[in-house]
Amino acid sequence: MGDLGDEPWTMVQKKGNQFVVNGKPFYVNGFNTYWLMVFAVDQSTRGKVSEVFQQAASVGLTVCRTLAFNDGQWRALQKSPSVYDEEVFKALDFVVSEARKYKIRLILSLVNNWEGYGGKAQYVKWGKEAGLNLTSDDDFFSHPTLRSYYKANTVLNRVNTFTNITYKEDPTIFAWELMNEPRCTSDPTGDKLQSWIQEMAVYVKSMDPKHLLEIGLEGFYGPSTPDKVQVNPNTYAQQVGTDFIRNHLVLGVDFASVHIYPDSWISQSITDAHLDFTRSWMQAHIEDSEKYLGMPVVFAEFGVSSEDDGYNSSFRDTLISTVYKVLLNSTRKGGSGAGSLLWQLFPDGTDYMDDGYAIVLSKSPSTSNIIALQSTRLMMFNSKCARNCRWSCHKKHPLDAFLFHDDL
């Protein structure tokens, strides 16, 4: 596989329901580490950014999803609307340049739905300070001034101080994410959030037509598909203002995102029902991405918390293997299952940031092996497909037993 390392570093593109790089398929095995920019601000913790990339690369992970926002908080990137902290921006520059060194591409999220690192609540707070009459955090989606605050984001036009490459020209960036886990509970019809997605997708694409774009959704089915809401993990999920198929049909959106948290959505006690849900949830979204959307789908967060009742590392391994197996089955058929991103990868010595979901590879050899095996399978599949010059090739191949062996 050594020849793959010498390929030109070019933009990830989309061809039908698959990603491509240099004209070859690009199936994703990746991870989340949300705090990279914050750690990179301080010289005493900056090394942890390099460490996590080095460790991720060692098990073949190729994409990292992380925050490109921190609004109005401690070590804020955006201190007030359109006012940025240059030192924090340089920290984000470092993250992007360091990712490139390790041949890891980044999905950069532009704002949070939740209050962590500012989120829509911070935008509403800024609006109130400017004298606007705002009554809900969901005014973020509808008020024209708050929409203008979002559009004033300068991250896309940033020139990296380490590489001198403008972000919107940098192939290290895999995609932009409009928002982490958008929800608009004040409008269960979904119209308010849909309008915001429509405006911002076209806007971001007009600023940067070269990169891929995704919304950041969790994947809940909504009012536009009443026949599908039974796939949701609970009845509340259809009332949060999101609508998987309708939202992803918006002009400018290139691929679908789905999160998988049975331990948050179904029950905090570990059972095999979590695995059954994971399979059916993934299968439904892969099929719908093929049938209705004609685009790849990335399972952009999945994991299990060590704080759950009945948790053990062997269950975590089983959950990860389950996700990987569903994706391999899609890959074998040339389907829309384009990859997954673990939540979340941590280097040694960062336990104080652990939300229960942290995976430290050096302490988890069995998990490391499962991740590395998936990376190898996807890399070989990408290579095999390229050599046969065919999509979803059905010819028997000596690698097939290794690529798709059920004993995962």
Active site residues: 181, 301
What one-character-per-residue DSSP string does 91-117 give?
HHHHHHHHHHHTT-EEEEE--BSSSTT
C-beta separation of 304 from 316 below 8 A:
yes
Strand runs labelled E in 220-277:
256-260
3-state DSSP of the chain? CHHHHHCCCCCCEEECCEEEECCEECCEEEEECCCHHHHHHCHHHHHHHHHHHHHHHHCCCCEEEEECCCECCCCCCEEECCEECHHHHHHHHHHHHHHHHCCCEEEEECCECCCCCCHHHHHHHHHHHCCCCCCCCCHHHHCHHHHHHHHCCCCCCCECCCCCCEHHHCCCEEEEECCECCCCCCCCCCHHHHHHHHHHHHHHHHHCCCCEEECCCCCCCCCCCCCCHHHCCCCHHHHCCCCHHHHHCCCCCCCEEEEECHHHHCCCECCHHHHHHHHHHHHHHHHHHHHHHCCCEEEEEECCCCCCECCCHHHHHHHHHHHHHHHHHHHHCCCCEEEEEEECEECCCCHHHCCCCCEEHHHCHHHHHHHHHHHHHHHHHHHHHHHHCCCCCCCCCCCHHHHCCCCC
C-alpha 179/C-alpha 73 separation (Å) is 17
CB atoms within 10 A of CB 43: 7
CA separation for the pair 96, 63 (Å, rounded):
12
